[in-house]
Structure 1
Amino acid sequence: MKISIGNDHAGTSYKEMIREKLEAMGHTVTNYGTDSEDSVDYPDFVHPVAEDVEEKKADLGIIICGSGNGANMTANKHQGVRSALCWNSEIAKLAREHNNANVLSIPARFVSEEQAVDMMKTFVETEFEGGRHQRRVDKIPAKKYC
């Protein structure tokens, strides 16, 4: 599987650990994240991940910032991206099964590295259930609902 990953300064160590685990699992990883802990702007590292998912250059994306919120908001501006901010493996599993999430947003300052790796494994290994969930996912793109 092709997976793009991006992070800001808060997620550098998490990104390295996750990248290594993904490659050991046989996945191809494209790293758009910073390799430094010097302060940077998360959108600069999240947009390329979301673009890869949007353009189907990557099967999934993983983004990491301090709270996970900014990265998640940025990724979800891209058409066809369904980024899920997750804080445990159960949420990551449901995001894939029920919402067909294709980007995992990790809040580095609120989960341990072990939790982040567990969420990544769950996210990557879980399939979308389809069925009744497909109808709901189909309604996510903005339309005239208001």
Structure 2
Amino acid sequence: MTVSIGNDHAGPEYKSAIVKHLEEKGFSITNYGTDTTNSADYPDFVHPVASDVDAGKVDFGILICGTANGVAMTANKYQKVRAGVCWNSEITHLTRQHNDANIICIPARFTSILQAIKMVDVFINTEFEGGRHKRRIDKIPLSC
């Protein structure tokens, strides 16, 4: 499985732990995030991740910032991206099951690293339910 990951200055420790966890499981990771806590602009790391997901180059994306809202807002500008802010396993499960999210957005200032890793595992292992949810997600993209 292939994954793109990106983060700003709030998430380098989270990213490192998640990358290590996924690599141990045999995942191929493309890392667009910063490795320092020096101030960084999150869109610079979001756009390459969202672009990979939008183009189908990866199976899913992971974005990390302080609240996860900025990265989600940016990623959701892409036509084929459904990025969801997740702060616990139940929200993560429902974001995949009901919304077929293809990017998980993790708020580093509101979750622990262990919780973030667990959410990534839930995200990966939850199937989209389809049915009435498919009808709804088909209505998300704008047709210009």
2:62 equivalent in structure 1: 62
What percentage of aligned pairs have identical amino acids?
Answer: 60
Distance 1:129 1:3 in 2: 22
Deviations 1:77-110 (A, max 9, x none): 1111000001001111101111000000000001
Matches within 5 A, 1:91-102: 91-102=91-102
What amino acid does structure 1 have at the position aligned with 2:110?
A: F
Distance 2:12 2:132 in 1: 38
1:90 equivalent in structure 2: 90
Q: TM-score, normalised by structure 2?
A: 0.97
Q: CA deviation at 1:142?
A: 2.1
1:40 equivalent in structure 2: 40
Cα RMSD, aligned residues only = 1.0
1:103 equivalent in structure 2: 103
Q: CA deviation at 1:5?
A: 0.2
1:6 equivalent in structure 2: 6
Distance 1:58 1:37 in 2: 26
Q: TM-score, normalised by structure 1?
A: 0.96
1:115 equivalent in structure 2: 115
Secondary structure class of the residue paired with 2:10: helix
Q: CA deviation at 1:143?
A: 4.8
What amino acid does structure 1 have at the position aligned with 2:49?
A: V
Structure 1 segments of 4 or more deviating over 4 A? none
Distance 1:25 1:138 in 2: 32
Q: CA deviation at 1:25?
A: 1.2
Q: How many residues align?
A: 144
Distance 1:131 1:26 in 2: 31
User: Does residue 26 of structure 2 align to residue 30 of structure 1?
Assistant: no
Q: CA deviation at 1:127?
A: 1.0
Secondary structure class of the residue paired with 1:118: helix
Structure 1 gaps of 5+ residues are: none
Distance 1:140 1:40 in 2: 30
Distance 1:5 1:110 in 2: 19
1:132 equivalent in structure 2: 132
